Amino acid sequence: MKLEQIYTGCIAHAAYYLESNGEAAIFDPLREVQPYIDKALSNNATIKYVFETHFHADFVSGHLDLAKKTDSKIVYGPTAKPGFEAIVAEDNQVFNIGNCQVKVLHTPGHTMESTTYLIIDEQGKAHGIITGDTLFIGDVGRPDLAQHVISDLTEDKLAGYLFDSLRNKIMPLSDDLIVYPNHGAGSACGKKMSKETTDTLGNQKRTNYALRADMTKEEFKKELLTGLTTPPGYFPKNVLMNIQGYESLDTIIDRGNNPLSAEAFELAANETGALMIDTRSAEEFAKGFIPNSINIGIDGNFAMWVGEMITDIKQEILLITEPGREEESIIRLARVGYDNTIGYLKDGFDTWKKASKEIDMITRITAEEFETRYAMSPIVIDVRKQSEFESEHVIGAMNIPLNQINQKFTEFPTDRAFILHCAGGYRSMIAASILKSRGIEQFVDVIGGMTDILKTNIPKTEYICPTTLL
């Protein structure tokens, strides 16, 4: 038996490849399914099933494309009501993959259809559990997402279901089982997940706050629900896409694979109302960019910040990328349901410059220059999330988290200069591009953000471990 975790860092997501005796199964695949197909082919295996732990909120699954391309069957846990052909399994139902087995354990709580899959090897020994968003390393799945799709499913009800699922289905299992979760640190599906992406169940029973043996249901609910931030706005839309179905990724790539000259790009932007997204690094973007374009760097948490910042999932998008990274950008957008890329600037930003089109820039300063300016009591705006800010920040700074920039836009000064920063420069450049697109010009961005600021003598608050703020 081979069980492999396939981890994608930009959305902190883990899919799984299970293989035995020429048959394979994929658990929670990403939307770009060819790598799973290639893996099975290289091992002379046939993909038999696509198992889904639940209807995902943070990404669009590749279940439909994968099933179509491999003639495999999609499997959901009990109570699921997909808008397409699928097997809705019964609790404790067993599926054979070669000489190993996959046993269905219905574990509602994160969502009502949430299911854990118990993997049993060729010798009949339980090996591990693929837990989806039921159990993470150091955390459990948030119970407040389903209510954005079905209002009757309150976070309190779901938290109660999750408590029962953990105690009745997960905790009685053997300590030596390996826990294979759907996400790791950085995912918005939990609040304090570990950077580790596997662990033994026994160690989780000892260290995971949610698995404390003497915890009451009310204590569990309180600990689970305290500190939850508002989920990204695109989450419910991704859920519906996963339930109802969606266009093939091949169709989306074909539509977006439309190279445009500078003139054609400008015309498309003006005529369609498409949002221009520049996926280059913050460093390159600051040196020169197309006015009104928004910077979300492909080498950061791209998909997550696209979802956070673009409210309309059907928004038409035009791309400015590093040459050769156009298709990658289209795919990364589609991972979170942004399927309407209509073209890209051929050969990247150099094409725009060579056409002598208007260019905008963002002024950046080093942390050392910030230290010099600090003596003049400047306005400082920190765009990190609230927990980061409360953990440690520049004395006198104000906090406007990037994901709240639209709601708090009026708090940015329009008649006075200010200094902008985040943790490392990625988020502050997103903020800077938005500010520029809305006519705010009098600011500078700190290169290296708080990481470099900590190396200076700029006065800072006393450090508090962020985990205590949850």
**DSSP letter for each residue of 91-106:** TT-EEEETTEEEEEEE
Q: How confident is the model at residue 228 (pLDDT cuts 50, 70, 90)?
A: confident
Tell me which of 196, 221, 238 is where a domain ends: 238
Whether residue 304 is found in the same domain as residue 418: no
Q: How confident is the model at residue 229 (pLDDT cuts 50, 70, 90)?
A: confident
Query: Does any domain span residue 219?
Result: yes
Q: Which domain holds residue 338?
A: 247-354
What pLDDT is attached to residue 281?
A: 98
Q: What angle do CA 295, 296, 298 make, to 5 degrees?
A: 125
Give the mean pLDDT of 137-163. 86
Instruction: Round to the nearest angstrom and report the end-to-end CA distance of the chain.
Output: 40
Whether residue 339 is found in the same domain as residue 383: no
Q: Are 136 and 13 within 8 A, CB to CB?
A: no
Residue 163: which CATH number?
A: 3.60.15.10
Residue 328: which CATH number?
A: 3.40.250.10
Whether residue 188 is found in the same domain as residue 273: no
Query: Does any domain span residue 289?
Result: yes
Whether residue 21 is found in the same domain as residue 116: yes
Tell me which of 327, 354, 381 is where a domain ends: 354
Q: Which residues are CB-contacts of 123 (< 8 A; sequence separation ≥ 6)?
A: none
Residue 147 has pLDDT above 70, yes or no: no
Q: How confident is the model at residue 187 (pLDDT cuts 50, 70, 90)?
A: confident
Sheet of 259-260, strand order = 259-260, 341-345, 317-320, 275-278, 294-295
Residue 34 has pLDDT above 90, yes or no: yes
Tell me which of 354, 376, 410 is where a domain ends: 354
Whether residue 117 is found in the same domain as residue 100: yes
pTM, two decimals, is 0.92
How far is it, in rounded angstroms, from Cα 334 to Cα 249? Answer: 7
Q: Tell how strand 398-399 and strand 379-382 pair up.
A: parallel
Query: Does any domain span residue 449?
Result: yes
pLDDT, one tens digit per residue, over 302-324 is: 988 999 999 999 999 999 999 99
> In this structure, what is the dihedral angle of CA atoms 221, 10, 61, 169, given to the nearest 10 degrees?
-30
Whether residue 18 is found in the same domain as residue 99: yes
Whether residue 371 is found in the same domain as residue 317: no
Whether residue 35 is found in the same domain as residue 131: yes
Q: Taking the alpha carbons of 228, 229, 230, 233 in that order, is the dihedral positive or negative?
A: negative
Query: Does any domain span residue 321?
Result: yes
Query: Does any domain span residue 359?
Result: no
- How many structural domains comprise the chain? 3
What pLDDT is attached to residue 470?
A: 42
Whether residue 334 is found in the same domain as residue 389: no
Query: Does any domain span residue 201?
Result: yes
Whether residue 347 is found in the same domain as residue 373: no
Give the mean pLDDT of 126-149. 90
- Give the residue, 144 or 444, on which the prediction is more confident: 444
Whether residue 234 is found in the same domain as residue 251: no
Whether residue 287 is found in the same domain as residue 388: no
Query: Does any domain span residue 383?
Result: yes
Helix (H) or strand (E) holding 345: strand 341-345
Query: Helices (DSSP H) in 245-385: which residue ranges?
Result: 249-256, 262-272, 282-287, 302-309, 326-334, 349-354, 367-374
Distances (CA, A) of 156 to 105, 108, 160, 413: 22, 13, 6, 40
Query: Helices (DSSP H) in 320-458: which residue ranges?
Result: 326-334, 349-354, 367-374, 386-391, 426-437, 449-453
- In the chain, what percentage of residues exceed pLDDT 90? 90
Distances (CA, A) of 28 to 53, 94, 120, 319: 7, 18, 18, 28
- Give the residue, 46 or 11, on which the prediction is more confident: 46
What pLDDT is attached to residue 152?
A: 76
**Could you tell me the two tokens for 6?**
């396939």
What pLDDT is attached to residue 361?
A: 98
Q: Are 11 and 62 within 8 A, CB to CB?
A: no
Mean pLDDT score across all residues of the chain: 95
pLDDT, one tens digit per residue, over 313-366 is: 999 999 999 999 999 999 999 999 999 999 999 999 999 999 999 999 999 999
Distances (CA, A) of 12 to 6, 173, 187: 11, 26, 5
Q: Are 338 and 264 within 8 A, CB to CB?
A: no
Q: Taking the alpha carbons of 177, 178, 179, 181 in that order, is the dihedral positive or negative?
A: negative
126: left (phi over 0), alpha (psi -120 to 50) or beta: beta
